[in-house]
A and B are shown apart, each in its own frame.
Chain A
């Protein structure tokens, strides 16, 4: 399987980009070239140079330092928001699948349909008007709209697995329903969930950037790619590179996770696992 994975171009490229973003984010925890919150009015809107690799913004802050700290925030949002969606959504989906056709199943799935009827970012904005702006609340909001996505996928995949004879065999062996879900259903739907998680990860990063751009995500002075984009648009004429770098960072991260998800879909395809 690893051999096939390493020959899959979109998997390899996606993995490389993802690892790079991850390494940069880890690096930012320990080291940034400059203090990303240090304001130097004398060095405003500098173009890229040897001291400020990607230039400075309107307050003289180092763009490169803000960018790699932004990577950390973006990953944090992705991991926690997808984690919320994954844990709650998969649990709901498997409960729904266990009681297929029951009132509980119908209830869970109709609530999912209802949330699908609203655009995700709109839902997040709605949630943030209740919770108030901020990074933590943005993560919660993005996590909430991830729940129905995973609930629906988990339910469909679990139903498919539960029709197999090995589930019947486990029941005949005396396994309880929770035991069967944990030992047989969950391991057999993991592949599908991983693929979906990488796609949702990209969407979460995009959503955080969008919310921060609108001013209701990450709050100053914490750097965020979305907020950097928002700040830069006032100075688009004077310092066009200011918008270029955070934009490119968002595009690259999202592209990386999408390609990784795409590659994983092929690599983890159960059909290619058989014999």
Chain B
């Protein structure tokens, strides 16, 4: 079976701005030789501390940035070789939820237009009543009333905004969802609601999901398989339970040991 999302030997480095003309340009290798595959309906968790390259992997998987080398395949098709136009035509199949719901919604756009944006690109000829109905039903699915349609992002709390961002990501019924720390900017009490919602939606829509987090507990709760990243390299990968019960790499063991435990 072809994985719905695959990455082969991804490499990405950035050139740091130099302090003076006399200095050599310093490079930072954000991602080194990362390969992964996600099957339909499966959730892959990626954990690692900040700066480990997990968000770069997310942007590369979303084809928001070009890798220096390696390939990203959506449903078996290499998207790194596509023209911008061809790439845009395929984007409705893979969507993303960002970490900061305060930054990921355009403050000047009504919720209706924000949620409908992927739909507008995928189906530009959609009648406005149908467009509105689809947006309203998706908002309802994430737990928001249709009366939010004409409001603006600043009128909502962080948790509500993240629900709006999720509705937007799923409105075109993508097969793949990349979630980059979707709950870490939220209050702990709201986090659980958002994670449960993602978990429900994943089952309902048969989504393949890449779930990025620095929180091992969340990854354990949501993922079938997981990858541990450190300094841009995958140090361990496997079935989530196997990684938790028998971690092979010292870094994974250190991460697990650092998890807060409930003492009874």
Contact surface of A with B, Cβ cutoff 8 Å: 164-166, 168-176, 183-184, 187-188, 270, 273-275
Contacts and interface: CB of A to CB of B under 8 A. Distances in A.
Contacts of A165: 98-100, 103-104
Contact of A172 (B95, B99, B100): B95
B102 to A, nearest CB: 8
B141 interface: no
A174 B74 CA distance: 15
B107 interface: yes
A170 B88 CA distance: 11
Contacts of B84: 176
Interface of B: 59, 62, 64, 84, 88-89, 91-92, 95-96, 98-100, 103-109, 117-118, 121-122, 154, 165, 168
B106 A175 contact: no
Contacts of B99: 165
Nearest to A179: B121
A184 B107 CA distance: 9
B88 to A, nearest CB: 4
Q: What 3 pairs across the A-B complex have the smallest Cβ distances?
A: A174-B121, A174-B91, A173-B118
Given A166-B104, A187-B108, A188-B106, A172 B91 contact: yes
Nearest to B116: A173
Most buried by B among A166, A171, A176, A184: A166
B121 A173 contact: yes
A188 B153 CA distance: 14
A174 B92 contact: yes
B168 A174 contact: no
Given A166-B105, A168-B59, 16 more contacts: A165-B100, A168-B104, A169-B165, A170-B106, A172-B62, A172-B64, A172-B96, A173-B117, A173-B118, A173-B121, A174-B88, A174-B92, A175-B117, A184-B109, A188-B107, A274-B107
A76 B64 CA distance: 45
Nearest to B155: A275
Contacts of B122: 174
Contacts of A184: 106, 108-109
Nearest to B101: A165
A106 to B, nearest CB: 15
Nearest to A190: B108
Contact of B96 (A169, A187, A188, A273): A169
Nearest to B99: A165
A270 B107 CA distance: 9
A273 B64 contact: no
Contacts of A187: 106, 108-109
9 contacts: A165-B104, A169-B98, A169-B104, A172-B64, A172-B118, A173-B121, A174-B88, A174-B118, A184-B108
Contacts of A169: 96, 98, 104-105, 165, 168
A169 B118 CA distance: 9
Nearest to A164: B103
A168 B165 CA distance: 13
A184 B109 CA distance: 8
B158 to A, nearest CB: 11
Contacts of B89: 174
Contact of A171 (B64, B106, B108, B154): B64
Interface centre among A165, A175, A183, by most chain B C-beta atoms within 10 angstroms, is A165
A270 B109 CA distance: 14
A164 B105 CA distance: 9
A217 to B, nearest CB: 39
Nearest to B171: A173
A273 B154 CA distance: 8
B54 to A, nearest CB: 16
A167 B117 CA distance: 12
A169 B122 CA distance: 15
Contacts of B92: 174
A173 B167 CA distance: 12
A131 to B, nearest CB: 39
A213 B84 CA distance: 54
Contacts of B105: 166, 169
Given A174-B89, A174-B121, A273 B107 contact: yes
Interface-centre pick from A168, A187, A274 (highest chain B CB count, 10 A)? A168
Contacts of A188: 106-108
A168 B118 CA distance: 12
A169 B179 CA distance: 12
